[in-house]
Amino acid sequence: MSMNNLENKSSGYDLESILARRRLEEAQAKAERKKFLLISFLILAVLAAALIVVSVQIGKIEAYNQQVGQGLIEGAIDNDISVYMVIRVAVIAVMIGYALFMLVKLLKPKRRKPNRSFWGDLGIYLLMSIIAVAMAFPLVFSIASSLKPLDELFRFPPKVFPQHITLDNFSDLIVVLGQSWVPFSRYLTNTVFITFVGTFGHVLIASMAAFVLAKYDFPGGKAFFNIVVTALMFSGYVTGIPNYIIMSKLHMIDTYWAVILPAFAAPIGLFLMKQFMEGLPTVLIEAAQIDGASQLRIFWTIVMPNVKPAWLTIIIFSVQNLWNTNASTVIYSESKKTLVYALQQIQAGGIARTGMAAAVTVIVMIVPISIFILSQSQILETMASSGLKE
Protein backbone atom coordinates (compact mmCIF):
# COMPACT_ATOMS: atom_id res chain seq x y z
CA MET A 1 0.00 0.00 0.00
CA SER A 2 2.81 2.36 0.84
CA MET A 3 4.42 1.73 -2.50
CA ASN A 4 1.12 2.38 -4.32
CA ASN A 5 0.58 5.58 -2.40
CA LEU A 6 4.10 6.67 -3.22
CA GLU A 7 3.52 5.96 -6.90
CA ASN A 8 0.23 7.86 -6.87
CA LYS A 9 1.90 10.83 -5.21
CA SER A 10 4.78 10.78 -7.67
CA SER A 11 2.39 10.58 -10.63
CA GLY A 12 0.39 13.45 -9.16
CA TYR A 13 3.54 15.49 -8.80
CA ASP A 14 4.46 14.71 -12.41
CA LEU A 15 1.04 15.80 -13.66
CA GLU A 16 1.20 19.00 -11.65
CA SER A 17 4.69 19.75 -12.94
CA ILE A 18 3.58 19.17 -16.53
CA LEU A 19 0.59 21.48 -16.09
CA ALA A 20 2.77 24.10 -14.43
CA ARG A 21 5.29 23.86 -17.23
CA ARG A 22 2.54 24.31 -19.82
CA ARG A 23 1.14 27.33 -17.98
CA LEU A 24 4.63 28.80 -17.85
CA GLU A 25 5.16 28.18 -21.56
CA GLU A 26 1.80 29.79 -22.39
CA ALA A 27 2.65 32.82 -20.27
CA GLN A 28 6.02 33.12 -21.96
CA ALA A 29 4.37 32.81 -25.38
CA LYS A 30 1.90 35.57 -24.55
CA ALA A 31 4.72 37.79 -23.30
CA GLU A 32 6.74 37.16 -26.46
CA ARG A 33 3.65 37.89 -28.57
CA LYS A 34 3.08 41.22 -26.82
CA LYS A 35 6.76 42.08 -27.19
CA PHE A 36 6.65 41.20 -30.88
CA LEU A 37 3.56 43.36 -31.45
CA LEU A 38 5.16 46.30 -29.63
CA ILE A 39 8.40 46.05 -31.62
CA SER A 40 6.45 45.62 -34.86
CA PHE A 41 4.34 48.69 -34.12
CA LEU A 42 7.46 50.77 -33.51
CA ILE A 43 9.16 49.53 -36.68
CA LEU A 44 6.10 50.18 -38.84
CA ALA A 45 5.64 53.60 -37.26
CA VAL A 46 9.24 54.54 -38.10
CA LEU A 47 8.85 53.26 -41.67
CA ALA A 48 5.55 55.11 -42.09
CA ALA A 49 7.11 58.32 -40.80
CA ALA A 50 10.02 57.92 -43.21
CA LEU A 51 7.60 57.29 -46.08
CA ILE A 52 5.62 60.43 -45.21
CA VAL A 53 8.77 62.56 -45.00
CA VAL A 54 10.06 61.27 -48.34
CA SER A 55 6.67 61.75 -50.03
CA VAL A 56 6.38 65.31 -48.72
CA GLN A 57 9.89 66.08 -49.93
CA ILE A 58 9.07 64.72 -53.39
CA GLY A 59 5.94 66.85 -53.50
CA LYS A 60 7.91 69.97 -52.57
CA ILE A 61 10.54 69.31 -55.24
CA GLU A 62 7.91 68.68 -57.94
CA ALA A 63 6.04 71.86 -56.97
CA TYR A 64 9.27 73.87 -57.03
CA ASN A 65 10.19 72.33 -60.36
CA GLN A 66 6.89 73.45 -61.86
CA GLN A 67 7.40 76.99 -60.56
CA VAL A 68 10.99 77.31 -61.77
CA GLY A 69 10.22 75.90 -65.20
CA GLN A 70 13.00 75.08 -67.63
CA GLY A 71 16.48 76.05 -66.49
CA LEU A 72 19.90 74.85 -65.42
CA ILE A 73 18.62 73.90 -62.01
CA GLU A 74 16.20 71.36 -63.49
CA GLY A 75 18.81 68.62 -63.77
CA ALA A 76 19.66 68.85 -60.09
CA ILE A 77 15.96 68.81 -59.20
CA ASP A 78 15.40 65.68 -61.29
CA ASN A 79 18.35 63.95 -59.65
CA ASP A 80 16.93 64.75 -56.21
CA ILE A 81 13.56 63.36 -57.25
CA SER A 82 15.10 60.14 -58.56
CA VAL A 83 17.00 59.61 -55.30
CA TYR A 84 13.89 60.18 -53.22
CA MET A 85 11.88 57.90 -55.50
CA VAL A 86 14.36 55.08 -54.95
CA ILE A 87 14.22 55.68 -51.19
CA ARG A 88 10.42 55.61 -51.25
CA VAL A 89 10.33 52.34 -53.21
CA ALA A 90 12.82 50.80 -50.78
CA VAL A 91 10.76 51.91 -47.74
CA ILE A 92 7.57 50.53 -49.27
CA ALA A 93 9.31 47.23 -50.04
CA VAL A 94 10.56 46.95 -46.46
CA MET A 95 7.09 47.74 -45.10
CA ILE A 96 5.47 45.09 -47.29
CA GLY A 97 8.11 42.53 -46.36
CA TYR A 98 7.75 43.21 -42.66
CA ALA A 99 3.94 43.06 -42.91
CA LEU A 100 4.21 39.62 -44.53
CA PHE A 101 6.59 38.56 -41.80
CA MET A 102 4.08 39.71 -39.16
CA LEU A 103 1.30 37.70 -40.78
CA VAL A 104 3.42 34.55 -40.85
CA LYS A 105 4.53 35.11 -37.28
CA LEU A 106 1.04 35.75 -35.92
CA LEU A 107 -0.93 33.20 -37.93
CA LYS A 108 1.51 30.34 -37.34
CA PRO A 109 2.72 30.74 -33.75
CA LYS A 110 3.18 26.97 -33.19
CA ARG A 111 5.41 26.26 -36.16
CA ARG A 112 8.67 24.44 -35.69
CA LYS A 113 11.21 26.94 -34.46
CA PRO A 114 14.44 27.01 -36.48
CA ASN A 115 17.79 27.34 -34.83
CA ARG A 116 17.90 31.13 -35.04
CA SER A 117 16.61 34.12 -33.11
CA PHE A 118 13.76 36.50 -33.83
CA TRP A 119 16.16 38.99 -35.41
CA GLY A 120 17.52 36.22 -37.61
CA ASP A 121 13.99 35.51 -38.88
CA LEU A 122 13.45 39.22 -39.41
CA GLY A 123 16.67 39.58 -41.41
CA ILE A 124 15.82 36.62 -43.62
CA TYR A 125 12.31 37.89 -44.34
CA LEU A 126 13.58 41.38 -45.13
CA LEU A 127 16.28 40.00 -47.42
CA MET A 128 13.78 37.77 -49.21
CA SER A 129 11.37 40.70 -49.58
CA ILE A 130 14.06 42.90 -51.14
CA ILE A 131 15.04 40.12 -53.56
CA ALA A 132 11.38 39.51 -54.44
CA VAL A 133 10.85 43.22 -55.16
CA ALA A 134 13.98 43.33 -57.31
CA MET A 135 12.86 40.29 -59.31
CA ALA A 136 9.26 41.49 -59.71
CA PHE A 137 10.21 45.05 -60.66
CA PRO A 138 10.86 44.36 -64.40
CA LEU A 139 7.49 42.65 -64.72
CA VAL A 140 5.65 45.47 -62.93
CA PHE A 141 7.50 48.12 -64.93
CA SER A 142 6.67 46.41 -68.24
CA ILE A 143 2.96 46.21 -67.43
CA ALA A 144 2.93 49.80 -66.17
CA SER A 145 4.72 51.02 -69.31
CA SER A 146 2.13 49.41 -71.55
CA LEU A 147 -0.55 51.48 -69.78
CA LYS A 148 1.26 54.82 -70.15
CA PRO A 149 0.50 57.42 -72.83
CA LEU A 150 3.30 58.29 -75.21
CA ASP A 151 4.38 61.46 -73.39
CA GLU A 152 4.90 59.58 -70.11
CA LEU A 153 7.05 56.95 -71.80
CA PHE A 154 9.67 59.58 -72.67
CA ARG A 155 9.52 61.44 -69.36
CA PHE A 156 12.77 61.77 -67.42
CA PRO A 157 13.25 60.71 -64.73
CA PRO A 158 10.89 57.86 -65.60
CA LYS A 159 8.06 57.02 -63.23
CA VAL A 160 7.21 53.43 -62.44
CA PHE A 161 3.43 53.77 -62.42
CA PRO A 162 1.40 55.70 -65.00
CA GLN A 163 -0.30 58.92 -63.94
CA HIS A 164 -2.92 58.66 -66.69
CA ILE A 165 -3.79 55.03 -67.42
CA THR A 166 -4.72 54.33 -71.03
CA LEU A 167 -5.28 51.33 -73.30
CA ASP A 168 -4.38 53.22 -76.46
CA ASN A 169 -1.18 51.22 -76.89
CA PHE A 170 -3.12 47.97 -77.18
CA SER A 171 -5.79 49.48 -79.43
CA ASP A 172 -3.12 50.96 -81.72
CA LEU A 173 -1.40 47.59 -81.83
CA ILE A 174 -4.61 45.91 -82.94
CA VAL A 175 -5.12 48.55 -85.63
CA VAL A 176 -1.58 48.13 -86.99
CA LEU A 177 -1.86 44.33 -87.02
CA GLY A 178 -5.22 44.61 -88.77
CA GLN A 179 -3.61 46.60 -91.60
CA SER A 180 -1.18 43.79 -92.41
CA TRP A 181 -1.92 41.75 -95.52
CA VAL A 182 -1.58 38.61 -93.39
CA PRO A 183 -4.33 38.54 -90.72
CA PHE A 184 -3.37 38.65 -87.08
CA SER A 185 -5.23 35.36 -86.50
CA ARG A 186 -2.87 33.67 -88.96
CA TYR A 187 0.21 34.65 -86.97
CA LEU A 188 -1.48 33.49 -83.78
CA THR A 189 -2.54 30.16 -85.33
CA ASN A 190 0.99 29.49 -86.55
CA THR A 191 2.44 30.15 -83.11
CA VAL A 192 -0.16 28.04 -81.30
CA PHE A 193 0.33 25.13 -83.72
CA ILE A 194 4.12 25.19 -83.42
CA THR A 195 3.99 25.53 -79.64
CA PHE A 196 1.41 22.78 -79.12
CA VAL A 197 2.90 20.18 -81.47
CA GLY A 198 6.49 20.93 -80.45
CA THR A 199 5.69 20.73 -76.74
CA PHE A 200 3.64 17.54 -77.06
CA GLY A 201 6.32 15.80 -79.10
CA HIS A 202 9.08 16.98 -76.78
CA VAL A 203 7.31 15.66 -73.68
CA LEU A 204 6.43 12.35 -75.34
CA ILE A 205 9.87 11.60 -76.80
CA ALA A 206 11.76 12.79 -73.72
CA SER A 207 9.55 10.72 -71.40
CA MET A 208 9.84 7.51 -73.40
CA ALA A 209 13.61 7.86 -73.80
CA ALA A 210 14.06 8.74 -70.12
CA PHE A 211 11.99 5.70 -69.05
CA VAL A 212 14.31 3.37 -70.94
CA LEU A 213 17.48 5.08 -69.69
CA ALA A 214 16.34 5.21 -66.06
CA LYS A 215 14.86 1.72 -65.60
CA TYR A 216 16.68 -0.53 -68.08
CA ASP A 217 20.34 -1.36 -68.55
CA PHE A 218 21.54 -1.80 -72.11
CA PRO A 219 24.89 -1.37 -73.86
CA GLY A 220 25.65 2.26 -74.59
CA GLY A 221 22.98 3.66 -72.26
CA LYS A 222 25.37 5.57 -70.02
CA ALA A 223 27.34 6.88 -72.99
CA PHE A 224 24.14 8.13 -74.60
CA PHE A 225 23.11 9.93 -71.42
CA ASN A 226 26.57 11.51 -71.18
CA ILE A 227 26.04 12.87 -74.68
CA VAL A 228 22.72 14.35 -73.56
CA VAL A 229 24.38 15.99 -70.55
CA THR A 230 27.09 17.40 -72.80
CA ALA A 231 24.44 18.80 -75.16
CA LEU A 232 23.07 20.87 -72.27
CA MET A 233 26.13 23.11 -72.53
CA PHE A 234 25.30 24.27 -76.06
CA SER A 235 22.76 27.04 -76.54
CA GLY A 236 20.44 27.49 -79.49
CA TYR A 237 22.83 29.95 -81.11
CA VAL A 238 25.49 27.22 -81.31
CA THR A 239 23.16 24.54 -82.67
CA GLY A 240 21.39 26.90 -85.08
CA ILE A 241 23.69 26.23 -88.02
CA PRO A 242 23.70 22.39 -87.67
CA ASN A 243 19.91 22.44 -87.33
CA TYR A 244 19.60 24.55 -90.47
CA ILE A 245 21.86 22.19 -92.45
CA ILE A 246 19.91 19.12 -91.29
CA MET A 247 16.53 20.70 -92.06
CA SER A 248 17.84 21.80 -95.46
CA LYS A 249 18.96 18.24 -96.28
CA LEU A 250 15.50 17.00 -95.26
CA HIS A 251 13.84 19.70 -97.47
CA MET A 252 11.95 21.12 -94.49
CA ILE A 253 13.10 24.73 -94.71
CA ASP A 254 10.17 27.17 -94.82
CA THR A 255 7.88 24.65 -93.10
CA TYR A 256 6.61 24.35 -89.56
CA TRP A 257 8.71 21.21 -89.04
CA ALA A 258 11.92 23.22 -89.28
CA VAL A 259 11.01 24.57 -85.84
CA ILE A 260 9.10 21.60 -84.43
CA LEU A 261 11.60 18.79 -85.07
CA PRO A 262 14.56 20.48 -83.29
CA ALA A 263 12.22 21.10 -80.35
CA PHE A 264 11.61 17.35 -80.09
CA ALA A 265 15.33 16.77 -79.47
CA ALA A 266 15.88 19.41 -76.75
CA PRO A 267 18.18 17.75 -74.16
CA ILE A 268 16.75 19.50 -71.10
CA GLY A 269 13.56 17.43 -71.21
CA LEU A 270 15.35 14.09 -71.38
CA PHE A 271 17.71 15.10 -68.58
CA LEU A 272 14.95 16.17 -66.17
CA MET A 273 12.72 13.19 -66.90
CA LYS A 274 15.55 10.71 -66.50
CA GLN A 275 16.68 12.18 -63.19
CA PHE A 276 13.12 12.24 -61.88
CA MET A 277 12.29 8.70 -63.02
CA GLU A 278 15.31 7.32 -61.21
CA GLY A 279 13.54 8.23 -57.97
CA LEU A 280 10.49 6.18 -58.97
CA PRO A 281 10.49 2.80 -57.09
CA THR A 282 11.37 -0.05 -59.42
CA VAL A 283 9.09 -2.39 -57.43
CA LEU A 284 6.06 -0.65 -58.96
CA ILE A 285 7.22 -1.54 -62.45
CA GLU A 286 8.14 -5.09 -61.45
CA ALA A 287 4.75 -5.60 -59.81
CA ALA A 288 3.00 -4.41 -62.96
CA GLN A 289 5.11 -6.77 -65.06
CA ILE A 290 4.17 -9.68 -62.81
CA ASP A 291 0.48 -8.78 -63.27
CA GLY A 292 0.97 -9.02 -67.03
CA ALA A 293 0.93 -5.32 -67.96
CA SER A 294 2.66 -4.36 -71.19
CA GLN A 295 5.48 -1.88 -71.33
CA LEU A 296 3.26 0.75 -72.97
CA ARG A 297 0.60 0.34 -70.28
CA ILE A 298 3.21 0.59 -67.52
CA PHE A 299 4.52 3.76 -69.09
CA TRP A 300 1.13 5.46 -69.44
CA THR A 301 -0.66 4.28 -66.27
CA ILE A 302 2.16 4.03 -63.73
CA VAL A 303 5.21 6.01 -64.77
CA MET A 304 3.67 9.14 -66.31
CA PRO A 305 1.20 9.89 -63.47
CA ASN A 306 3.99 9.56 -60.90
CA VAL A 307 6.31 11.94 -62.75
CA LYS A 308 3.71 14.63 -63.35
CA PRO A 309 5.86 17.42 -61.82
CA ALA A 310 8.67 16.60 -64.24
CA TRP A 311 6.66 16.76 -67.45
CA LEU A 312 4.84 19.87 -66.29
CA THR A 313 8.24 21.49 -65.87
CA ILE A 314 9.20 20.40 -69.37
CA ILE A 315 5.98 21.94 -70.69
CA ILE A 316 6.96 25.25 -69.10
CA PHE A 317 10.40 25.27 -70.69
CA SER A 318 9.15 24.11 -74.09
CA VAL A 319 6.25 26.58 -74.26
CA GLN A 320 8.53 29.44 -73.26
CA ASN A 321 11.05 28.51 -75.94
CA LEU A 322 8.59 27.92 -78.77
CA TRP A 323 6.22 30.77 -77.97
CA ASN A 324 9.07 33.30 -77.98
CA THR A 325 10.77 32.11 -81.17
CA ASN A 326 10.46 34.18 -84.34
CA ALA A 327 11.75 31.36 -86.61
CA SER A 328 12.95 33.94 -89.14
CA THR A 329 16.02 31.88 -90.08
CA VAL A 330 14.07 28.80 -91.20
CA ILE A 331 10.63 30.18 -92.17
CA TYR A 332 10.48 32.72 -94.99
CA SER A 333 6.85 32.76 -96.10
CA GLU A 334 4.87 35.55 -94.46
CA SER A 335 1.82 33.33 -94.08
CA LYS A 336 3.86 30.93 -91.92
CA LYS A 337 5.51 33.51 -89.69
CA THR A 338 4.98 33.42 -85.94
CA LEU A 339 3.30 35.99 -83.75
CA VAL A 340 6.56 37.07 -82.15
CA TYR A 341 8.04 37.88 -85.56
CA ALA A 342 5.10 40.12 -86.43
CA LEU A 343 5.25 41.86 -83.07
CA GLN A 344 9.00 42.40 -83.39
CA GLN A 345 8.45 44.09 -86.74
CA ILE A 346 6.08 46.49 -85.01
CA GLN A 347 8.67 47.16 -82.31
CA ALA A 348 11.19 48.12 -85.00
CA GLY A 349 8.86 50.82 -86.32
CA GLY A 350 10.64 53.67 -84.53
CA ILE A 351 9.85 56.14 -81.76
CA ALA A 352 6.22 56.54 -82.79
CA ARG A 353 5.60 52.89 -81.92
CA THR A 354 7.21 52.93 -78.49
CA GLY A 355 3.85 52.51 -76.79
CA MET A 356 2.95 49.60 -79.04
CA ALA A 357 6.34 48.06 -78.29
CA ALA A 358 5.52 48.16 -74.58
CA ALA A 359 2.19 46.47 -75.31
CA VAL A 360 4.00 43.84 -77.40
CA THR A 361 6.27 43.01 -74.47
CA VAL A 362 3.29 42.35 -72.21
CA ILE A 363 1.48 40.20 -74.80
CA VAL A 364 4.54 38.05 -75.48
CA MET A 365 5.18 37.30 -71.81
CA ILE A 366 1.56 36.63 -70.78
CA VAL A 367 1.42 32.98 -71.88
CA PRO A 368 4.72 31.71 -70.34
CA ILE A 369 4.11 33.56 -67.08
CA SER A 370 0.52 32.30 -66.82
CA ILE A 371 1.58 28.68 -67.33
CA PHE A 372 4.40 29.08 -64.82
CA ILE A 373 2.08 30.53 -62.16
CA LEU A 374 -0.41 27.69 -62.60
CA SER A 375 2.25 24.98 -62.16
CA GLN A 376 4.99 26.56 -60.08
CA SER A 377 4.60 24.08 -57.21
CA GLN A 378 5.22 21.18 -59.58
CA ILE A 379 8.35 22.89 -60.93
CA LEU A 380 9.76 23.35 -57.43
CA GLU A 381 9.09 19.68 -56.67
CA THR A 382 10.92 18.65 -59.84
CA MET A 383 13.95 20.78 -59.01
CA ALA A 384 14.05 19.36 -55.48
CA SER A 385 13.72 15.74 -56.59
CA SER A 386 15.76 15.65 -59.81
CA GLY A 387 18.95 14.71 -57.99
CA LEU A 388 17.51 12.09 -55.62
CA LYS A 389 18.11 8.40 -56.04
CA GLU A 390 16.05 5.45 -54.91
Q: Are 36 and 118 in contact (CB under 8 A)?
A: yes
Query: Cα–Cα distance between 367 and 380 in angstroms, integer?
Result: 19
- pLDDT tens string for the chain (390 positions)? 455 554 444 455 566 777 777 777 777 777 777 777 788 778 888 888 887 887 777 777 777 766 665 444 444 444 456 677 777 777 777 777 777 777 766 665 454 555 566 677 777 777 887 888 788 888 888 888 888 887 778 777 777 778 778 888 888 777 777 777 777 778 888 888 999 999 999 999 999 988 888 888 888 888 888 888 888 888 777 888 888 898 889 888 888 898 898 888 888 888 888 888 888 888 888 888 888 888 888 888 888 888 888 888 888 888 888 888 888 888 888 888 888 887 777 767 667 677 888 887 887 788 777 777 766 665 655 555 544 444
Query: Cα–Cα distance between 85 and 95 in angstroms, integer?
Result: 15
User: What tens digit of pLDDT does each residue of 127-172 get?
Assistant: 887 888 788 888 888 888 888 887 778 777 777 778 778 888 888 7
Query: Cα–Cα distance between 172 and 162 in angstroms, integer?
Result: 18
Domains and CATH numbers, the chain: 2-153 (no CATH), 168-385 (1.10.3720.10)
Query: Cα–Cα distance between 182 and 194 in angstroms, integer?
Result: 18
Q: How far is CA 145 from the centre of its chain?
A: 20
Burial of 103 per CB tally in 10 Å (0-12, 13-18, 19+)? exposed
pTM of the model as a whole: 0.61
Query: Cα–Cα distance between 314 and 384 in angstroms, integer?
Result: 15
